[in-house]
Structures are given as C-alpha cells and as structure tokens.
Amino acid sequence: MPTIAQKRDTFRELHQSGCFVIPNPWDVGSARYLVALGFKALATTSSGFAWSRGRADSDVPLADALGHFEQIAASVAIPVNADFEGGFATDPAGVAANVTRVVATGIAGVSIEDSTGDPVKPLFDFTLAVERIRAASQAVAGTGVVLTARSEGFIVGRPDLDETIRRLTAYAHAGAECLYAPGIKTPDHIAAVVEAVYPKPVNVLVGGNYATVEELADLGVRRISVGGALARTAWSGFMAAAREIAHRGTFEGLAAAVPFAEVNGLFTSKS
C-alpha cells in the first residue's frame, strides 16, 4: 500500500496534464470495485454517503464525515479526494480548523464549496467566500493535499456564468489548485471556465449522458467526476426491484441482478 505522501504526490501529478475520471464511491465496497476497474483516483460523494446512512445530503455530522474519509482513504491504494461540502463552518477560521482535521484522515485532496444551504441566499457573499478558500488553502499548505474550490451557482438556482467565473478566478488567486463549477454542461460554458482559470485544472461534473470523456478532454477539462450519480444508479435498481415486490408481488427485477458469485468474488481474499 502506498504511503499517504505517495498518494498525494500521485494525485498532484494527475492534475498536471491530460484528463482523468475521478468517480465517486459511497462506501468501501464501491471504492474497491472502482479501483479494480483501473481508475487512478477516487472522490467521495456527500450525497451518496448520506443516503447510505439514511440521511439527506448535507445532513451528516462532521465526525461521521471525517470517519468516512479516513475509512475510504485507508481502504484503497489510490488517492482519494474528500467532498467536504462547505467545510462544516461558515467563518474562515472554522473552515481552516476543519480542513486541518480532514488532512489528518489521509485523503489526497479536499473540496470546499460556496453554497450556504439557505434557498433565499444560496451563496456566501463574495468576499467571505474568497476568504474561506484562502483559509482552506493555508490549512493544507505544506501537506501535499490538493485544494479544490467549488462555485455552486448553477446547482443552487443562480446560474450566472459571469459570476461563476468571477468567483472561480478569485478562488484560484486565493490558493485553490483545482476549480469546479458543478452544473455547467454546455461546451461554451465549460470552455469559458477552463480559459478563465488556465493554467489551473478544472473539474467538470457529469451526472447524465450529455458528454463523453473525449469531448471534455478536447475542451481542456482536466478532471471529471460524477458526484452522486453512481449512488443514484445503484439506488435506482434497488428501488425498482423493491417496488415491484411491494406493489406487484413479483420478482422479475431480481433476474437482472449480477450473480452472487460475481459480487462475492470481488471481495474474496486472494491470500
């Protein structure tokens, strides 16, 4: 198993050139399967993990999130980025303190977003948002952890490209090493963000069938994640089969399931 420092070096190198997919597991089993498929890095998903705990997204306590990061990072030999939502704090000092705790879990990257959770005022004020990223950057300084700054306007009802670019550019100047605007989908929007923060890498979220890895790479995207989409896909199969049993008393949905031996074989010790 590589050391934490080696994983962080690997993660940093991945951001230097090319384009890579960083899929989002929600537990150790899904993480290990993604490793077996050959992915070079993983990212946690706050929503996927919350659902596995019977909670809504953004309703997981800080201690649980930290434990989850530590468990996932220790279970795989590739780098893991922590979806740290808004840093579990509002003020920059609180964000910095919590990011310091994240670093101690063994992750290779951490993402901080600028959404407030308040539908009336869904984004932190610009100045505060920048200071939060600056504080997070200072917290990871010298650790090798890659800081990703997210601007959430397109997924919280404020789809303003100019404001998104203004924020991402400011976050880059404040120390963010990777920039991320979940919800941007069109080639023009993606290209505009890539150009605005160049040469720093951009992460694009793909939650549906509207782009390919090749197309995003051609636009200059460096990193592609899927957020909670894999977890939603798993929930979709489970919910459909369970509903059929509950409402129809039939079991047709189970026939499409992967055989027991195949799933069990993924986790059978080879030693």
Rounded Cα distance between 124 and 86, Å, is: 10
6-49 per-position pLDDT tens digit: 999 999 999 999 999 999 999 999 999 999 999 999 999 999 99
Rounded Cα distance between 170 and 20, Å, is: 25
144-159 per-position pLDDT tens digit: 999 999 999 999 999 9
Q: Residue 145: its pLDDT value, please?
A: 98
pLDDT band at 175 (very low <50, low <70, confident <90, very high): very high
Q: Mean pLDDT score of the chain, rounded to an integer?
A: 97
DSSP line for the chain: ---HHHHHHHHHHHTTSS-EE----SSHHHHHHHHHTT-S-EE--HHHHHHHTT--TT-S-HHHHHHHHHHHHHH-SS-EEEE-TTTT-SSHHHHHHHHHHHHTTT-SEEEEE-B-S-SSS-B--HHHHHHHHHHHHHHHTTT-PEEEEE--GGGTT---HHHHHHHHHHHHHTT-SEEE-TT--SHHHHHHHHHHHTTS-EEEE--SSS--HHHHHHTT--EEE-TTHHHHHHHHHHHHHHHHHHHH---GGGGGSPPHHHHHHHHS---
Q: Which two tokens stand for residue 47?
A: 């929503």
What predicted TM-score, i.e. pTM, was given to this entire model? 0.96
Tell whether the model's pLDDT for residue 270 goes beyond 70: no
77-108 per-position pLDDT tens digit: 999 999 999 999 999 999 999 999 999 999 99
Domains along the chain with CATH numbers: 4-228 (3.20.20.60)
pLDDT band at 269 (very low <50, low <70, confident <90, very high): confident
Tell whether the model's pLDDT for residue 271 goes beyond 60: no
The mean pLDDT of 161-187, rounded to a whole number, is 98
Q: Which two tokens stand for residue 85?
A: 């939502």
Strand order from edge to edge, sheet including 109-113: 20-21, 223-225, 202-205, 178-180, 146-150, 109-113, 80-83, 42-43
The mean pLDDT of 186-200, rounded to a whole number, is 98
